[in-house]
């Protein structure tokens, strides 16, 4: 019979046992600083992303979802671990593989599913789809389809944070393929030159569409690309949730304290195709299976059980609750109206006229 460590008393006893333990690891440190309930919460977030996306695939097959659909399945530990370090005043930019980052940043899955269904209740009023999740109330600036373009936008917001002294940090996610484009080098150069509070998180999943890393990049250790700009950088295991949390946490602290940007290369793997239409001729089933057997979500679940943080029965109950929530998001999306024609000419398309914007004179 496993011990339940969700209660305060149990957490205290777990913390004491950690203190007396000889070896300090990301797990023991996280348990000590965050407590057992927070460790279980990370499991919930990863599982919510996984089940949400499995449902997306199902809805795509049933033609409820159209357009492009790029799933994050297999990469959840990177997004959840990295974003867990952010405060409300911080900012997130990401690429088209954006479902996981949106959920980790706390966006409600009902408007996300509605966005995929092209409904008016979607987070981008049903007109962005899978690649354009956004919620400005959470400083979640999206979802960008053009590879690498958003890195420069991240610099812009980081410059604003610095000039207005908001103490905010910008975290921007992108793939290994994006590091071959000019925007990547422009963004790194400018961020380092101005010591901007940006954490660049490259999710190195070993492929850019169907092109393997060693075929598309002359330097396969992406973190070394930061050396050209004298920028701090690190390569980490993107599949180890608590390791990601701790190491990206150091990068966030570095950026927040005014020392400048950091490039983090998180090694990970996508279990599904590049998009829902990918036949995956460029990699073998055996390779995919090898990576699947080290599924970061399963590994984290096992850690929680083995370390007696949470019994399997409680994790199973969380899974069931998530299934209920995901089914409810489909019902919400299905029952929502499509956008009306007024959105063709309304403020959802055009920005407010310039004269109505307030410009801080210190910025010009």
Ligand X SMILES: Cc1ncc(C[n+]2csc(CCOP(=O)(O)OP(=O)(O)O)c2C)c(N)n1
Q: Is 265 in the site for Mg ion (CB under 5 A)?
A: no
Q: Is 79 in the site for Mg ion (CB under 5 A)?
A: no
Give dist(CA 293, CA 192) in Å, integer.
39
Q: Site for ligand X (CB under 6 A): how many residues?
A: 15
Rg of the chain over Cα atoms, rounded to whole angstroms, equals 21
- Lay out the sheet containing 262-267: strands in order across: 140-144, 91-95, 170-175, 198-204, 262-267, 232-237
Interacting partner of 294 out of Mg ion, ligand X, none (Cβ under 5 to 8 A depending on kind) = none
Give dist(CA 40, CA 31) in Å, integer.
10
Q: Which helix (H) or strand (E) holds 45?
A: helix 36-61
Q: Is 136 in the site for ligand X (CB under 6 A)?
A: no
Burial class (CB in 10 A: 0-12, 13-18, 19+), 244: buried
Q: Is 150 in the site for ligand X (CB under 6 A)?
A: no
Q: Is 176 in the site for ligand X (CB under 6 A)?
A: yes
- For residues 178 to 197, the per-residue mask of contacts with ligand X, x marking binding by CB under 6 A and - elsewhere, is x-------------------
- How many residues comprise the chain? 364
Interacting partner of 274 out of ligand X, Mg ion, none (Cβ under 5 to 8 A depending on kind) = ligand X
- For residues 171 to 210, the per-residue mask of contacts with Mg ion, x marking binding by CB under 5 A and - elsewhere, is ----xx----------------------------x--x--
Interacting partner of 100 out of Mg ion, ligand X, none (Cβ under 5 to 8 A depending on kind) = none
Instruction: Write out the two tokens for 266.
Output: 């998180």
Q: Which of residues 82-101 bind ligand X (CB under 6 A)?
A: 97
Q: Is 273 in the site for Mg ion (CB under 5 A)?
A: no
- 3-state DSSP call for residue 141? strand
Q: List interacting residues with Mg ion (CB under 5 A).
A: 175-176, 205, 208
Q: List interacting residues with ligand X (CB under 6 A).
A: 97, 145-147, 174-178, 203, 205, 207-209, 274
């Amino acid at each position: 019979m496993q011990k339940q460590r969700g209660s305060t008393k149990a957490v205290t006893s777990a913390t004491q046992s950690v203190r007396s333990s000889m070896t300090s690891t990301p797990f023991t440190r996280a348990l000590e600083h965050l407590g057992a309930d927070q460790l279980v919460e990370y499991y919930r977030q990863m599982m919510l992303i996984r089940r949400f996306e499995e449902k997306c695939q199902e809805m795509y097959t049933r033609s409820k979802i159209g357009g492009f659909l790029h799933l994050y399945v297999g990469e959840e530990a990177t997004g959840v671990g990295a974003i867990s370090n952010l405060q409300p005043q911080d900012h997130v930019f990401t690429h088209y593989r954006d479902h996981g980052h949106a959920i980790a940043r706390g966006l409600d899955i009902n408007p996300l599913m509605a966005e995929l269904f092209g409904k008016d209740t979607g987070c981008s009023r049903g007109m962005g789809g899978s690649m354009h999740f956004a919620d400005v109330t959470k400083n979640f600036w999206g979802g960008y389809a053009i590879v690498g373009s958003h890195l420069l936008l991240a610099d812009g917001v980081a410059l604003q944070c610095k000039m207005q002294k908001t103490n905010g940090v910008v975290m921007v996610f992108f793939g290994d393929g994006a590091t071959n484009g000019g925007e990547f080098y422009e963004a790194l150069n400018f961020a380092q030159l101005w010591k901007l509070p940006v954490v660049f998180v490259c999710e190195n999943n070993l492929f850019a569409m169907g092109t393997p890393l060693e075929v598309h990049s002359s330097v396969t250790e992406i973190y070394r690309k930061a050396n050209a700009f004298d920028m701090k950088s690190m390569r980490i295991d993107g599949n180890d949730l608590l390791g990601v949390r701790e190491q990206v946490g150091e990068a966030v602290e570095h950026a927040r304290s005014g020392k400048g940007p950091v490039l983090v290369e998180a090694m990970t793997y996508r279990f599904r195709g590049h998009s829902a239409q990918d036949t995956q001729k460029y990699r073998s089933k055996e390779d995919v299976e090898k990576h699947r057997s080290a599924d970061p979500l399963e590994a984290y679940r096992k850690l929680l059980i083995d370390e007696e943080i949470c019994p399997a029965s409680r994790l199973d109950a969380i899974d069931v609750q998530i299934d209920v929530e995901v089914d409810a998001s489909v019902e919400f999306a299905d029952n929502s109206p499509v956008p009306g024609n007024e959105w063709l000419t309304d403020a959802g398309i055009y920005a407010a006229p310039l004269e109505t914007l307030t410009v801080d004179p210190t910025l010009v």
